[in-house]
A and B are shown apart, each in its own frame.
Chain A
């Protein structure tokens, strides 16, 4: 059972954005998004300037937009909310394309759409240009508690192992005529999840013993990437 050490969103490259230290990227993205969130919702010129900066960074990273845009489907649930907002908000009514909608709701919906999309695009760019190992080291430099970074490291390391285990279970269930989405089969699905928990926990115990036998004393050694 080999595990890939890259992650699904990473896009290999050598641009300045790829080479920038991870902790700088995280801080810049966080600061940038805080400014975006704090921007008044009708300051469209400012929002446009911020979007231009973001697009500039995306272009600089040379990650193709055709790679990033399809991955923006994560935002579909809140797009639905943003689209609904003009209809469910109160306040003075206005007419758009023959529909009567709430004016403040429309403004808020558009602002949410712009800010949320910028957040998703920014986060995708961070994920596409940063290897998980670099991200972990970056978070360590940002003084995130050592234990949290370790837990995160183990999660990232075993993410593909455990999700592959789950998908093998799902394949086995489906090949026996089970539809995991149907509530009728929830008992079977839940037993599989229970089994997955036991397997994950026992894997954790084995990993811990293996680490102890290699001299683990509560801190991970500072290893350079091979």
Chain B
């Protein structure tokens, strides 16, 4: 769900634009640490992947469908800084070349979908990784929980922005309740898909999963004796 033009007033749109630009500037430095000079091609391809993954819709009920936001998924797979860059680039391209999301709302959309979901998703994931046993098997469930939490939090932040710069005299409590309820349902879909995708990548190429890197580093090389008869 992308915020269109005219949903939030001009000062709020400009303010979120400044927030987004600052966060992307910080992420640029961080991503160079995560990927060094491979940043441009790899982040570009991951951005394309996020875009393709967002094309898959899942039914939410009442005849409508939600689609993956992908913030938490990207954070676990490629690390939080690269994820912020990838999702922000996807949102900018969607606004400029596909008319999806208002051009004055680019900052709002990047703040909500690119920054809040990645930050919340990554924090929850790192917390769970610290608390749970240190095996590769926990990566996918932790990613699922992170994805589940990230969606309603983004909805809450949106409600907060709406309270500051909303262009409609709607009862805020009702907006918050509706957004939370709706996005909890979307969050379940996001969690299931994120968990399953991460699980399949962990099974095939655990070395590519940024969130699993510390767990792989701790694994010891085991040689097993196999009887060949």
Contact = CB atoms under 8 A, between A and B. Distances in A.
Interface string B80-105: 00000110111011011111101111
Interface in A116-134: 116, 118-120, 122-124, 126-127, 130, 132
Interface in B147-203: 167-171, 174, 192-193, 195-201
Contacts of A205: 38, 41-42
Interface string A53-76: 000000000000000000110110
A197 B49 contact: yes
A221 to B, nearest CB: 13
Contacts of A204: 38, 41-46
Most chain A CB within 10 A, of B7, B65, B195, is at B7
A196 B52 CA distance: 9
The 4 A-B residue pairs with the shortest CB-CB distance in the complex, in nearest-first order: A154-B44, A115-B6, A119-B5, A190-B196
B40 interface: yes
A186 B170 contact: no
Contacts of B51: 155, 159, 162-163
A155 B168 contact: no
Contacts of B48: 154-155, 158-159, 161-163, 200
Interface stretch (A13-21, A93-101, A105-113): A105-113
Interface residues of B, number: 73
B7 A112 contact: yes
Contact of A181 (B43, B57, B98): B57
Contact of B89 (A34, A151, A216): A151
B41 A145 contact: no
26 contacts: A9-B97, A29-B103, A33-B102, A37-B13, A75-B4, A85-B170, A88-B171, A89-B169, A102-B169, A105-B169, A112-B7, A116-B4, A119-B6, A119-B102, A122-B103, A123-B96, A147-B40, A148-B24, A148-B88, A151-B40, A166-B52, A181-B59, A189-B196, A194-B199, A194-B201, A220-B40
A102 B96 CA distance: 35
B169 to A, nearest CB: 4
Contacts of A77: 1
Contacts of A161: 48
B167 A111 contact: yes
Contact of A195 (B55, B77, B97, B200): B200
B213 interface: no
Q: How large is the interface on A (under 10, 10 to 19, 20 to 34, 35 or more residues)?
A: 35 or more
A203 B208 CA distance: 13
A142 to B, nearest CB: 11
A95 B73 CA distance: 47
A156 interface: yes
A44 interface: no
Given A71-B99, A152-B93, A78 B7 contact: yes
Nearest to A26: B96
B29 to A, nearest CB: 10
A151 B6 contact: no
B37 interface: yes
A116 B48 CA distance: 26
A158 B46 CA distance: 10
A96 B44 CA distance: 50
B200 A196 contact: no
A74 B102 CA distance: 11
A120 B99 contact: yes
A218 interface: yes
B52 A89 contact: no
Contacts of B85: 148, 151
Scoring A122, A181, A208 by chain B CB atoms within 10 A of each residue's CB, the highest score goes to A208
Given A119-B5, A120-B4, A33 B103 contact: yes
Contacts of A8: 98
Interface string B59-81: 10000010000000000011000
B225 to A, nearest CB: 32
B55 A166 contact: yes
